[in-house]
Amino acid sequence: MSLTATSYARVAGANERIALGLIGCGGRGYEAHMKGIHPYDKQENVEFIAVADPWRTRRERAAARCQEWYGRAARQFVSYRDIMDLKDVDAVMIASCDHQHTTHLEAAARAKKDAYCEKPLAMDMKSLKRCCDAVKASGIVAQMGTQTRSYPTSTGCRDLVRSGQLGKISRIEQRRNSSKPYWYSWMQRAEPILEKDVDWKEFLMDRPMRPFDGKLLTGWYGYREFSDGPIANLGCHFLDRNNYIVGTTLPTSCVAHGGTFTWKDENGFTCPDHTEATWIYPEGFMVSYTTNMGNGSGSGERICGELGSIDLANRKGPTYSSAGAIKPSSLPKEDTPVPAVETPDHFLNWLQCLRTRRQPNAPIEAGYNHCVPALMAMRAFDTGRRQVYDAAKREIREG
């Protein structure tokens, strides 16, 4: 892809260190982002030099890891704003809470700092459009955290679909079940969380002030005010990988429903433990996502075409066959592994693009395209009414 003048001017030399700032030092930041970058930090000459988190113990833990890895501790900050003000930070990794993503990414765009941002990108259309527009105008390299599109087997599936061997696609579906909602595993219970260790206002951000609550600080995944639950938080991986494999972008309509049927307890979680959403895409097929968090059996994921199917839920990797074909098919009858196509790891792809200034594998458009259907689903869930997307106006409405 061609480079903008702003982006071209920032091409870094091979021997020039790229300094990273980490925004959000919890599970995703400390475990996924830091560990995901570390295998490549010497090869790509990058280093975490600053970390920010409202919770003191989390940012201290991340800074200590930098000391272990690089021989010097990262600078520590409570607010993302301080990292944005640092002239020696070239790029940021945003691993904050769902309600903070657009604010942090938009700030990175304004500061002209490249960014890797966790999903889902937004919780409302207004902030989604504003953030995407800011990123596009800035010329930064922004990678969305939908890493499954960078699996070698995802590229293999894409090549298989594009070859026409599955024929016309009729339906894509995922059933992502578990015995318990994921937010329980994130909620910390082992030790008390002290109010003096947390900048509570920085965590809440634009949400209304309320008394400090350590349970909310670590269990925010389970509350609708801070996360839209399984369809948005898990389903966005499914939606994004579909776009990558099949070549779709945005649906035309959506219906959804669900509720909390199993896990009702003293925590008062408001994200549903059972959900179902169905979208229709303009290419002429349906996409279905369901979650049952009251029984872990029955998970699966399939791309169905008139000449066969791809099974994406196989533990050993995706397989394809003529299963379900309604026309004579040249596909094998037995489940056959989808050939993997060499593809850079999602983190490595972003690091490489920081130097080349090329668009990464999941650019800002991918974030918009996984977020809109998730927002459509949650509006349908909340209203009980079918939602449609108006591409010309970039709006979701009842229809």
Instruction: Please write the tens of the pLDDT for every residue from 330-388.
Output: 999 999 999 999 999 999 999 999 999 999 999 999 999 999 999 999 999 999 999 99
Residue 60 CA neighbour count, 13 Å, CB half: 5
Outline where 200-254 has alpha helix (H): 200-204, 214-219, 230-233, 235-246
Architecture of the CATH domain 151-342+373-398: 2-Layer Sandwich (3.30)
Q: Which helix (H) or strand (E) holds 47?
A: strand 46-52
Q: What share of the chain is helix, strand, coil (3-state, %, to 5)?
A: 35, 20, 40
Burial of 108: CB neighbours in 10 Å, binned 0-12, 13-18, 19+: buried
Q: Is this model's pTM higher than 0.85 or not? A: yes
Return the residue matching tokens 């691993």: 95
The model's pLDDT over 139-198, given as tens digits with 9 standing for 90+, comes to 999 999 999 999 999 999 999 999 999 999 999 999 999 999 999 998 876 678 999 999
What pLDDT is stored for residue 192 in this prediction? 85
Q: Give the whole-angstrom CA distance, residue 21 versus residue 66.
A: 11
Q: Note the Cα 317 to chain centre separation in Å.
A: 21
The amino acid occupying position 252 is: T
Q: Which helix (H) or strand (E) holds 22?
A: strand 18-23
User: Is residue 1 scored above 50 in pLDDT?
Assistant: no
- Cis amide leading into 120 (omega within 30): yes
5-148+347-363: CATH homologous superfamily? Answer: NAD(P)-binding Rossmann-like Domain (3.40.50.720)
What pLDDT is stored for residue 56 in this prediction? 97
What pLDDT is stored for residue 4 in this prediction? 45
Domain boundaries, the chain: 5-148+347-363, 151-342+373-398
Q: Give the whole-angstrom CA distance, residue 170 versus residue 281.
A: 10
What pLDDT is stored for residue 385 in this prediction? 98
Read off the pLDDT band of 126 (50, 70, 90). Answer: very high
